Structure 1
């Protein structure tokens, strides 16, 4: 492992680590079937991990047992991934240390889910090797320090697949099946709202607890408490491995309609991901996802926007469109609700007044900008023929008309 820059070093640490790295080649050569001239340690480790990856992909139990000390037992990585539809699995060694009987290897794992991922997902991994019977095998594999876990790190994964995509879960399999049924409805609903060029498939991960949800996302549980689901993945074309991660504890508190709403909302994020960029404001990205979910299961506006309805009834209409910071999960649930409702109703205003096609065009136009400065103003002008100030005034008036109260004529107008 790399020593932290500027960190304290005990006398002799560097020399011991250099010796360990140089010795790893010889240590691993002793476990090769055809000993030859010593090769660089990284190449020998890479060869071992290449065999491990091939065995897992081909489901070759004998080849796997030759690379893994735990074999194919019920707690092994082999067993935990048996139901996962893997289309790719490969390691790139990034560091290694060893003594006479054990080794620790850092690697980047690149894997794909079959029929789902256009490009590999990546994960930083830590593999512990042990020498037994003259051969080196992997004793354990886990997330590298500071890296998110993978679902199979948390237990045996069950899978449900269909033309709509894949649901993978470690929890109660009845729950996995229930999420799959909702995903089957969420994909066409999101497609009806967005259309466009997307895979029309979704991958949903269902861990067993809030803590495991946070571990998959690389965060702390408190950051996701009360959040029913999150979509992961970097914005932009060619994005690999979008995932919807369900928080089973918050999800279980919703009724059937709420669960469907959440999954359709997150699926809309997957659909729009390739045209969502740094310039896309959250009122538009979150508002569009809510618009997709609401139009699939419409309800009276006041029932769907209770926080804003109450604010208008108090004579406290919003002064401006929700800012990105308004969508932060900082403990103020009412403020967060107002932000989501405000973004949704801004998108609904565009769809009502200019038409759904213009809403989609607005989304694309903003996302096409490489930076935030001026993007929203340019998109509103080019697509809707309006300005941010005019649009905000129209939105405030729309709230007043649809939800009651003073709307745009209240304080701050």
Structure 2
């Protein structure tokens, strides 16, 4: 069978059709025009952020792709600061859709990049309420009265966290209050069931250096069910995570991070072990004294709530024990060392014990505080 020969003019035409079907990249001049249009677009933040102290709003374009002659898709990293609160720019992966109209490229849509979580303003207009030490940003549906109450509670939580953690930190906090539990889960990129029953969580990157992404995110449903004392504990716990973020690293045991935050929240209050650790008290009274300090997986959201409650309660009691027996300064020193040293060395340098000795003292404390049988008794 002889090969089919196409006329010379057909080959370039066929090639153009194939490239157009695949979305041909723009030529250099068109790409420069698209990038210039994105830069012009970035000069003014979205209308939904009116009243929010945004600065340094810009898009770092990573790719430009034409979809036909008059449309383009852009992938970019949004960078911005909240003036007076962010030590360094925060980031968000975005996808922008542009169209050419009357010879000029214009942005027609700005949305989260595929797989990236939305920002609060993607869910509707944002309301900003300033406290003395907190900036509260409310999503669509949140009233100014609710946000003002949270700002007042955050203002009390910031000095409480600072009193427990004398290390350097900004001494201020940004609180996000989405319109619902489902909207909260969207912001965090996890199923709503992972946060059901929780009052709040904290986002951010652990490690030394500026950490601009720290945000306390309120679960409006769980938070509304808390008493005034419960809200104080929850917010102080989360603000303490913000305060200690730069001192926290992959070497910091999760029980120390969570236990320290609870210790800061209960510090200076008359709360008893029985009141703050009911789930662990029930277990200890059944003779189920834990054999080891809480493992990291025990703190996972969305699992069995009873084991998770025991993990948090046990972590708090471990930090309270350290503060009582070795002193608050030793607890703070241990936390700082745990973020920059191997754990055995941090324990030895800060407390003069190893993990086996600390665990033994902790188990004895559980028995003494929660009324279980003596450790090892049958």
Count residues in correspondence. Answer: 360
Alignment of 1:131 with 2:103, yes or no, is no
Unaligned runs of 5+ in 2: 1-14
Match of 1:201 in 2: 172
Alignment of 1:10-409 (within 5 A): 15-16=19-20, 20-22=24-26, 39=29, 41=31, 43-56=32-45, 77-78=46-47, 80-98=48-66, 99-170=68-139, 171-173=141-143, 174-237=145-208, 238-369=210-341, 375-409=342-376
Alignment check: 8 A CA contact 1:209 1:249 kept: yes
Q: TM-score, length-normalised on structure 1?
A: 0.83
Whole-angstrom CA distance in 2 between matches of 1:17 and 1:358: 66
Which moved further from structure 2: 213-222 or 47-56? 47-56
1:97 Cα deviation (Å)? Answer: 2.4
Whole-angstrom CA distance in 2 between matches of 1:12 and 1:216: 42
Alignment check: 8 A CA contact 2:33 2:105 kept: no
Q: Deviations over 1:6-55 (max 9, x none)?
A: xxxxx9997227763225x6xxxxxxxxxxxxx260x3222212222223
Unaligned runs of 5+ in 1: 1-10, 26-38, 57-76, 370-374
Whole-angstrom CA distance in 2 between matches of 1:407 and 1:153: 55
Q: Deviations over 1:376-395 (max 9, x none)?
A: 21111111011111110001
1:319 Cα deviation (Å)? Answer: 1.0
1:130 Cα deviation (Å)? Answer: 2.5
TM-aligned CA distance change 1:310 to 1:12, over 3 Å: farther
Whole-angstrom CA distance in 1 between matches of 2:18 and 2:87: 42
Alignment check: 8 A CA contact 2:63 2:74 kept: yes
TM-aligned CA distance change 1:250 to 1:14, over 3 Å: farther
Question: Aligned-pair RMSD on alpha carbons?
Answer: 1.9
Q: TM-score, length-normalised on structure 2?
A: 0.90
Whole-angstrom CA distance in 2 between matches of 1:346 and 1:235: 22
1:312 Cα deviation (Å)? Answer: 1.5
Whole-angstrom CA distance in 2 between matches of 1:264 and 1:13: 61
